[in-house]
Chains A and B, each alone.
Chain A
């Protein structure tokens, strides 16, 4: 079998987080009752006309800026084709004069993926297939909800610079983080805010030629994306190996069957008959628009990663922590980590608690007061609170705020007195004399067992580090005798 390289270009459709749709004042909201966010414009009623949403333009420009694109004068075209989810039977989209071109996205591993274009267009409605298990080909009829029709999208088209499933996942993860950081999108793949299509081809290793590509659709998660690319590259490789040719086509990823299948059996000749949309006027990003877009731009994930790395003592030290760094940036907890560190917490400690305990609290964790986060971490490192106790206190701090020491007291997490600890150790020694003997005679492997017994006896109130120290002190006393 020959050696192949995978070549992937990604098309990411991003729904913009505007209050209203792209060309009308209907609410841009997910999950509303069907056909309630519709008006003459987004239903394509005769006589209605589109008017461009200024905020959508600004968000599109923020995306262009964040992806280092050239932001250019642009116009809208009509893309003509009949489909029941499209109220006008044409889609207003940008064609050969898009607003953003020629950008670049740098991944955390330093690799770069070119951005060909990031253009604006309107979303379509949603069809539900009735009968045949909800599959389009077996359905008896279909139902259409136009709430989503006209929702603003930016389609971000990458260059075919991606060479593996892992890199494709990293690209989408980074792009998603950028889109969230710009405020352009909520980045929710599961709600369809972010939809990814992959153009996959293969070529002989070392070759510059591009193979025939297939467009893979229905990639609803990063996991699907990775698996679908791997599967599709394998499928193409076995075709070529067996002397067949790859046909250019659109394929559907079936997550349950873990395979792609061809979408159209009959030959479909699409001819979109693009022409300039006469109901809209050119969009010319002037200085004022550019100013607004760039001043609204938050710190991008790459810069935020760099900031965290610096706080952690430089890129070298941070290398092992990349996963945790990725998590806190994705959840926008990096400001909290940095603020807690500035307030005296150990940055690594703060990062660890943020990436684990806080991350499980979801978005609301961002609301945590950095000062109380820092003092909670201080209570832990001084041994006043155990790790278990910290984990119990954090959710309440996130939910209601307050002084960590006070919250800990309310939970009954008072500092364990020395006396209580010593008597717990006495109990463990008399209950496990053999293990204690092994420990005293220098078997370090048994220390964990003894510490665990002490923790158990104190119902987790003891601090692990303090217990270890107390056990060591007791052994020193015995040996000295």
Chain B
């Protein structure tokens, strides 16, 4: 077995101990990407030169006796809405097709400083608006479990890249479920942290009060380690929490004995049986492991979707105003500046982005602000209060991740509202700013993975990930990646050392 298929901590340890070089690990990842890309289209850009330079730098540091960091030599994929100096950052939009940022986002910088090797920019729904990657201007990503199905979205490329074993780690952004929903569809772990835990500096904004960067991994331990590296205070982001980076990995194995778990009733009737059954089974598993589980009704959760579809487009309409053809990106000429702006934006934005800009502009416009945006913000307060009340009784909540498993291409493209429903179970955590994780827990009758969400109060990542790890430990075999659309031979042999929780987690899983 390749080190790429083991735990991330183990891989980094192998690189640090010079058991394998960062360059060798990278070349294997690049080979896998090359082999799988024509079928999957996970990446908008593969960063061949930059990745090789970084791998060389990591190996050089190790040779010089320096420690390159916790993610030494670990190939990572970045959603193509995270700014990378010198590498195009397109947001899968024609309007930014040729834009090369002159700066690195904070997370990108932190990853490099921890020795990670960024291998490419992953596909997404344009400007992270969508739940299937079908809204990418550069074509959709395919789900490695079934090439006829969507990987979910908007971080579909990042989820599929980990699910297919192309990279052990990837990063995405989650505004209404854009990490957790594709994680569920692709059978990987996806974490949306507490708002403010991870810097947004360099993340191209969709809806600023909801956006948060998070990680994908094959295991909870991998995703948790990635989050540890990415998290921490950033003076460049006013909304970044001024706290020391959390320790997430060390407590993962502590179990769930004595924890109070609430199962959110309100979603169970709204989702496919495979999804509600997975959530119920998860609660039973936690009870069996010593937690106390109880169903809880939080009807305010159902306010999430409508509130979100006012707040997110409103903020987006303002965030996306800057794409006007003046300073960067696409320009479609016109006789005067207003016409040039309007032609550029109509040509550069895809249909879903245009639709959301229209909704958001309308919701903020004179005479409608109070009825829509103002009311949605009050609904947000109501939802947060309901969460607060629930967290007086429970340490964590368990809920389905998605209303269904991965759907076929084109299944929902004709009906925007049907597509929006994909985020039903994930949106409340974005509105409240609370953390949530999707962990693979079942297979449906089509053999597709189904995730379960664990939700926690603000900064509850340690307990949330502990619960997720407990679920992962008892999940049926075969519920998660990596799966290969095509077989590949391993260039890098498994070393003898390592071990640890991450390694064990990775070892349990059989390829799909």
Interface residues of A (CB under 8 A from B): 40, 43-52, 78, 80, 82, 84, 87-90, 142, 144, 146, 271, 273-275, 278-281
User: In the complex, what's the smallest C-beta–C-beta distance from B237 to chain A, in angstroms?
Assistant: 5
Does the CB pair A271–B83 fall under 8 Å? no
Q: Report if A46-B91 is in contact (Cβ < 8 Å); known contacts: A51-B236, A82-B321, A279-B239.
A: yes
In angstroms, Cα B81 to Cα A82, docked, is 23
- In the complex, the chain A residue whose C-beta lies closest to that of B323 is A46
Does the CB pair B238–A52 fall under 8 Å? yes
Q: Mark B413-434, 1 if CB is under 8 A from A, else 0.
A: 0000000000000000000000
In angstroms, Cα B104 to Cα A45, docked, is 12
* B82, B201, B369: the one within 8 Å of A48 (CB): B201
29 A-B residue pairings within 8 Å (CB atoms): A40-B101, A40-B102, A44-B327, A45-B103, A45-B327, A45-B328, A46-B96, A47-B82, A47-B83, A47-B101, A47-B204, A48-B202, A49-B200, A51-B236, A52-B238, A80-B318, A87-B327, A142-B337, A146-B327, A271-B365, A273-B317, A273-B366, A275-B315, A275-B318, A278-B207, A278-B209, A279-B208, A279-B239, A281-B238
User: In the complex, what's the smallest C-beta–C-beta distance from B109 to chain A, in angstroms?
Assistant: 12
Does the CB pair B96–A78 fall under 8 Å? no
Query: Which B residues are in CB contact (< 8 Å) with A142?
Result: 337
Query: Which B residues are in CB contact (< 8 Å) with A48?
Result: 103, 201-202
In angstroms, Cα B326 to Cα A146, docked, is 12
Q: Is B361 an interface residue (CB 8 A)?
A: yes
Does the CB pair B361–A273 fall under 8 Å? yes
In angstroms, Cα B236 to Cα A279, docked, is 11
Residue from B91, B322, B328 whose CB has the most chain A CB atoms within 10 Å: B322
Q: Is B105 an interface residue (CB 8 A)?
A: yes
In angstroms, Cα B328 to Cα A88, docked, is 12
- In the complex, the chain B residue whose C-beta lies closest to that of A79 is B318
Q: Residues of B within 8 Å of A, CB-based: how many? A: 44
Does the CB pair B322–A88 fall under 8 Å? yes
Q: Is B184 an interface residue (CB 8 A)?
A: no
Q: Is B112 an interface residue (CB 8 A)?
A: no
Does the CB pair B318–A78 fall under 8 Å? yes
Query: Which B residues are in CB contact (< 8 Å) with A271?
Result: 365-366
Q: Is B341 an interface residue (CB 8 A)?
A: yes
User: In the complex, what's the smallest C-beta–C-beta distance from B19 to chain A, in angstroms?
Assistant: 37
Residue from A47, A52, A88 whose CB has the most chain B CB atoms within 10 Å: A47
In angstroms, Cα B102 to Cα A279, docked, is 21
User: In the complex, what's the smallest C-beta–C-beta distance from A122 to chain B, in angstroms?
Assistant: 14
In angstroms, Cα B208 to Cα A90, docked, is 14
Q: Report if A280-B238 is in contact (Cβ < 8 Å); known contacts: A44-B322, A47-B202, A80-B318.
A: yes
Please report which residues of chain B, range 53-104, place their CB below 8 angstroms from some CB of chain A when the two chains form the complex. Answer: 81-83, 89, 91, 96, 99, 101-103
Query: Which B residues are in CB contact (< 8 Å) with A43?
Result: 327
Does the CB pair A49–B102 fall under 8 Å? no
Does the CB pair B99–A80 fall under 8 Å? no
Query: Which A residues are in CB contact (< 8 Å) with B324?
Result: 82, 84, 89
Please report which residues of chain B, range 195-212, place their CB below 8 angstroms from some CB of chain A when the two chains form the complex. Answer: 200-205, 207-209
In angstroms, Cα B268 to Cα A247, docked, is 60
Please report which residues of chain B, range 334-357, place their CB below 8 angstroms from some CB of chain A when the two chains form the complex. Answer: 337-338, 341
Does the CB pair B366–A46 fall under 8 Å? no
Q: Is B314 an interface residue (CB 8 A)?
A: yes
Query: Which B residues are in CB contact (< 8 Å) with A275?
Result: 314-315, 318, 364, 369, 373
Does the CB pair B321–A51 fall under 8 Å? no
* A47, A88, A144: the one within 8 Å of B321 (CB): A88
Query: Which A residues are in CB contact (< 8 Å) with B322?
Result: 44, 46, 87-89
- In the complex, the chain B residue whose C-beta lies closest to that of A81 is B321
Query: Which A residues are in CB contact (< 8 Å) with B326?
Result: 84, 144
In angstroms, Cα B322 to Cα A44, docked, is 7
- In the complex, the chain B residue whose C-beta lies closest to that of A23 is B238
Does the CB pair B202–A89 fall under 8 Å? no
Does the CB pair A80–B208 fall under 8 Å? no
Q: Is B235 an interface residue (CB 8 A)?
A: yes
Query: Which A residues are in CB contact (< 8 Å) with B235?
Result: 51
- In the complex, the chain A residue whose C-beta lies closest to that of B328 is A45
Query: Which B residues are in CB contact (< 8 Å) with A273?
Result: 317-318, 361, 364-366, 369
Does the CB pair A45–B102 fall under 8 Å? yes
Does the CB pair A49–B236 fall under 8 Å? yes
User: In the complex, what's the smallest C-beta–C-beta distance from B247 to chain A, in angstroms?
Assistant: 26
Query: Which B residues are in CB contact (< 8 Å) with A280?
Result: 238-239
- In the complex, the chain A residue whose C-beta lies closest to that of B240 is A49
User: In the complex, what's the smallest C-beta–C-beta distance from A92 to chain B, in angstroms?
Assistant: 11
Query: Which A residues are in CB contact (< 8 Å) with B361?
Result: 273
Interface residues of B (CB under 8 A from A): 81-83, 89, 91, 96, 99, 101-103, 105, 200-205, 207-209, 235-239, 314-315, 317-318, 321-322, 324, 326-328, 337-338, 341, 361, 364-366, 369, 373
Query: Which A residues are in CB contact (< 8 Å) with B364?
Result: 80, 273-275
In angstroms, Cα B238 to Cα A89, docked, is 20
Query: Which B residues are in CB contact (< 8 Å) with A50?
Result: 238
In angstroms, Cα B361 to Cα A78, docked, is 13
* B101, B236, B365, B373: the one within 8 Å of A46 (CB): B101
Complex A-B, nearest 10 residue pairs according to Cβ-Cβ distance, in ascending order: A89-B321, A273-B364, A278-B208, A278-B209, A46-B204, A47-B83, A47-B202, A44-B322, A271-B366, A47-B204
Query: Which A residues are in CB contact (< 8 Å) with B83?
Result: 45-47
Query: Which A residues are in CB contact (< 8 Å) with B337?
Result: 84, 142
Query: Which A residues are in CB contact (< 8 Å) with B89?
Result: 46-47
* A44, A82, A146, A279: the one within 8 Å of B341 (CB): A82
Q: Report if A45-B321 is in contact (Cβ < 8 Å); known contacts: A142-B337, A278-B208, A281-B238.
A: no
Q: Report if A90-B202 is in contact (Cβ < 8 Å); known contacts: A80-B364, A273-B361, A278-B209.
A: no
- In the complex, the chain A residue whose C-beta lies closest to that of B364 is A273
In angstroms, Cα B211 to Cα A279, docked, is 11
- In the complex, the chain B residue whose C-beta lies closest to that of A127 is B337
Query: Which B residues are in CB contact (< 8 Å) with A80?
Result: 317-318, 321, 364
- In the complex, the chain A residue whose C-beta lies closest to that of B345 is A82
User: In the complex, what's the smallest C-beta–C-beta distance from A413 to chain B, in angstroms?
Assistant: 61
Q: Report if A82-B338 is in contact (Cβ < 8 Å); known contacts: A43-B327, A46-B89.
A: yes
In angstroms, Cα B324 to Cα A280, docked, is 23
Query: Which B residues are in CB contact (< 8 Å) with A89?
Result: 321-322, 324
Residue from B209, B235, B324 whose CB has the most chain A CB atoms within 10 Å: B324
Does the CB pair A278–B315 fall under 8 Å? yes
Does the CB pair B366–A51 fall under 8 Å? no
* A40, A49, A87, A90: the one within 8 Å of B318 (CB): A90
In angstroms, Cα B203 to Cα A259, docked, is 49
Does the CB pair A49–B365 fall under 8 Å? no
In angstroms, Cα B200 to Cα A50, docked, is 11
- In the complex, the chain B residue whose C-beta lies closest to that of A46 is B204
Does the CB pair A40–B238 fall under 8 Å? no
User: In the complex, what's the smallest C-beta–C-beta distance from B121 to chain A, in angstroms?
Assistant: 13
Q: Report if A281-B327 is in contact (Cβ < 8 Å); known contacts: A84-B337, A90-B321.
A: no
Query: Which B residues are in CB contact (< 8 Å) with A47?
Result: 81-83, 89, 101, 105, 201-205
User: In the complex, what's the smallest C-beta–C-beta distance from B349 to chain A, in angstroms?
Assistant: 14
Q: Report if A279-B204 is in contact (Cβ < 8 Å); known contacts: A47-B105, A82-B321, A273-B361.
A: no
- In the complex, the chain A residue whose C-beta lies closest to that of B200 is A49
Query: Which A residues are in CB contact (< 8 Å) with B369?
Result: 273-275
- In the complex, the chain B residue whose C-beta lies closest to that of A142 is B337
Residue from A46, A80, A279 whose CB has the most chain B CB atoms within 10 Å: A46
In angstroms, Cα B321 to Cα A78, docked, is 12
User: In the complex, what's the smallest C-beta–C-beta distance from B445 to chain A, in angstroms?
Assistant: 42
- In the complex, the chain A residue whose C-beta lies closest to that of B210 is A278
- In the complex, the chain A residue whose C-beta lies closest to that of B361 is A273
Query: Which A residues are in CB contact (< 8 Å) with B327?
Result: 43-45, 87, 146
Query: Which A residues are in CB contact (< 8 Å) with B315?
Result: 275, 278
- In the complex, the chain B residue whose C-beta lies closest to that of A76 is B238
User: In the complex, what's the smallest C-beta–C-beta distance from B83 to chain A, in angstroms?
Assistant: 4
In angstroms, Cα B361 to Cα A275, docked, is 11
In angstroms, Cα B236 to Cα A147, docked, is 20
Query: Which A residues are in CB contact (< 8 Å) with B96?
Result: 46
- In the complex, the chain A residue whose C-beta lies closest to that of B199 is A49
